[in-house]
Chain A
Amino acid sequence: MSPADEGSDRNEGQISPEERAEFKRRSAEIGRRLDAARPESGKSKSAKGSQGKASNELLGRALRLSTELIGGIVVGAGIGWWLDTYLMPTVFGVKTWPLMFIVFFLLGSAAGMLTVVRSGMKMKTGPSDPTKGKPVPDDEDGVI
């Protein structure tokens, strides 16, 4: 760092020892502040998961959640309706009209919520964290 070997005939060789000490003190101070700042940002990053970098990504996640619930409900209701109106009467000859629709509508809602909860948990704990995944079953029992 200190160019003492070639700076003997130039100005930097004549830097007073106090100045050099002052310089070293300042650089050490900067280093200390950097060290203090770094684990903090690292910590907040790992807390949010490895992807938690920009607010844009957070907005992307919010947009993602909104359609997932609806997707589950629509698919569930669609399957129930198809079972009721096509499969059950024509293939099995049973009239089940509102039954399958209601059952699969509920299943679809559960599936939508499950998807939302799952992606929510993934956002909170990061892509794969086996230790933090433990409380999930309890939560899900509470939901269902």
Chain B
Amino acid sequence: MAADGHGHSPIEQFEIKELLPIDIFGIDASLTNSGAYMLVALGLIFGFLYFSTGGRSLVPTRLQSISELIYEFVANTVRENVGSQGMRFFPLVFSLFIFVLVLNLLGMIPIPGVTFTVTSHIAITASLALMVISIVVFYGLYKHGLGFFKIFVPSGVPLALYPLLIPIEIISFISRPISLSVRLFANMLAGHIALKIFAGFIGVLLGAGVWAVLAPLPLALTVALTALEVLVAVLQAYVFAVLTCIYLSDAVHGSH
């Protein structure tokens, strides 16, 4: 946390910086700090899973039991929310969960001038949410045909209420990818801004003469907020995975 109180804006940390300009036929595909963080996350995930599952011993080593725990955790989440037919989506949910989790946690590691939280950009979270909802729609249409649209028709309601309830159901469906992406993005954004502001108070108070005695207060708060943010980082990855499962269950089971 490089907030030493002079001119650092709390939202500076979200700035996208171009690291390596790449231009593919007029399309700006430059490597940015966001892309670099994603590549680092992918490398970490791949390396960790590769090395931790390399041994495949019957009595797992510590690393192996970590990846087995993550596997079991995601597998149980999928089974509970979608059922065993949903296990075909396990790779998707696992990838989403671990990708979001690692990106959230990487954003919590303070490296002055470098730290960047990829999931604090709605472009990323909205792409993930749109991917999820497109899979739900396309798989639902593939599996149930036009019967998939029955999820918009509430059951056990008098016919006269249909013109009112069907638009409500449709709006509720459309709001899913929005709440899915906004939730993750807003939590990460707000958390990191709060962290930066309270960390900035420390520097400001230290430079304010007698008031420096109060500086430990925002320091303590920053420590507490950091712990909270780590919790939020894990929770949001979990919530993202659970909601993906809940939406997929609509596609797998159709209306109920």
> Which chain A residues have a beta carbon within 8 Å of chain B's beta carbons?
50-51, 56-57, 59-60, 63-64, 66-68, 70-72, 74-76, 79, 104, 107-108, 110-112, 114-115, 127-128, 137
Tell me, rounded to whole Å, the shortest Cβ–Cβ distance linking B169 to chain A: 7
Say yes or no: is B2 at the interface (Cβ < 8 Å to chain A). Answer: no
- B179: contacting residue among A56, A60, A70, A137, CB under 8 A: A70
Beta-carbon contact of B236 and A112 below 8 Å: no
**Contact status B243-A64, CB under 8 Å:** yes
Q: Can you pick out 29 interface pairs between chain A and chain B where the beta carbons lie within 8 Å of each other? A: A51-B80, A56-B234, A56-B235, A63-B187, A64-B239, A64-B242, A64-B243, A67-B179, A68-B175, A70-B179, A70-B182, A71-B178, A71-B179, A72-B172, A72-B175, A74-B175, A74-B178, A75-B171, A75-B175, A79-B171, A104-B171, A107-B171, A111-B169, A111-B171, A114-B168, A115-B179, A127-B80, A137-B156, A137-B157
Query: Of all chain B residues, which has the CB nearest A51?
Result: B80
**Is the pair B179, A107 in contact by a Cβ cutoff of 8 Å?**
no
What is the bound-complex CA distance between A51 and B168, given in angstroms? Answer: 28
CB distance from B81 to the nearest CB of A (A): 7
Q: When the two chains form their complex, are residues A60 and B235 in contact, meaning their CB atoms are under 8 A apart?
A: yes
Q: Are B235 and A59 in contact (CB under 8 A)?
A: yes
Q: Which residues of A contact B186 (CB under 8 A)?
A: 67
A37 to B19, CA, bound (A): 59
Does B201 sit within 8 A of A, measured CB to CB?
no
Residue B238, interface by CB 8 Å: yes
Interfacial chain B residues near A64, Cβ < 8 Å:
183, 239, 242-243
Give the distance in Å from the alpha carbon of A5 to the alpha carbon of B182 in the complex. 69
Task: State whether A75 touches B178 (Cβ < 8 A).
Answer: yes
B residues 226-252 near A (Cβ < 8 Å) are 231-232, 234-236, 238-239, 242-243
Are A60 and B168 in contact, with the CB atoms below 8 A? no
- A107-B168 contact, Cβ under 8 Å, with A63-B183, A71-B176: yes
Q: Name A72's closest neighbour in chain B (CB-CB).
A: B175
CB-defined contacts of B176 to chain A, threshold 8 Å:
71
Contact of A67 among B80, B172, B183, B231 (CB under 8 A): B183
Residues of B158-196 at the interface with A, using a CB-CB cut-off of 8 Å, are 164, 167-169, 171-172, 174-176, 178-179, 182-183, 186-187
The 6 closest A-B CB pairs, nearest first, are A71-B179, A71-B175, A111-B172, A111-B171, A75-B175, A67-B183
- Given contacts A60-B235, A67-B183, A68-B179, whether A107 and B174 have CB atoms under 8 Å apart is no
User: Within the assembled complex, what's the spacing in Å between the Cα atoms of A84 and B230?
Assistant: 43
Answer yes or no: B6 CB below 8 A from chain A CBs: no
Least distance between A80 CB and chain B CB atoms (Å): 10
Q: Are A63 and B157 within 8 A (Cβ)?
A: no
| B256 close to A (CB within 8 Å) | yes
Report whether A63 and B80 are in contact in the complex, using a CB–CB cutoff of 8 Å: no
Residues of A contacting B234 in the complex (Cβ-Cβ under 8 angstroms) = 56
Chain B residue at minimum C-beta to C-beta distance from A50: B80
Contact A63 B236 (CB under 8 A): yes
CA distance A64 to B247 in the complex (A): 14
Please give the distance in Å from A99's CB to the nearest CB on chain B.
Answer: 15
User: What separation, in Å, do the CA atoms of A111 and B168 have in the docked complex?
Assistant: 5
11 new A-B contacts, CB < 8 A, other than A63-B239, A64-B183, A68-B175, are: A50-B80, A56-B231, A64-B243, A67-B182, A72-B179, A74-B178, A79-B171, A104-B167, A107-B167, A107-B168, A115-B175
Give min CB distance, A112 to chain B, whole Å: 7
Q: Which residues of B contact A70 (CB under 8 A)?
A: 179, 182
The distance from the CB of A135 to the nearest CB of chain B, in whole angstroms, is: 12
Of the candidates A50, A56, A75, A110, the one having the most CB atoms from chain B within 10 angstroms of its own CB is A75
In whole angstroms, how far apart are the Cα atoms of A111 and B186 in the complex?
21
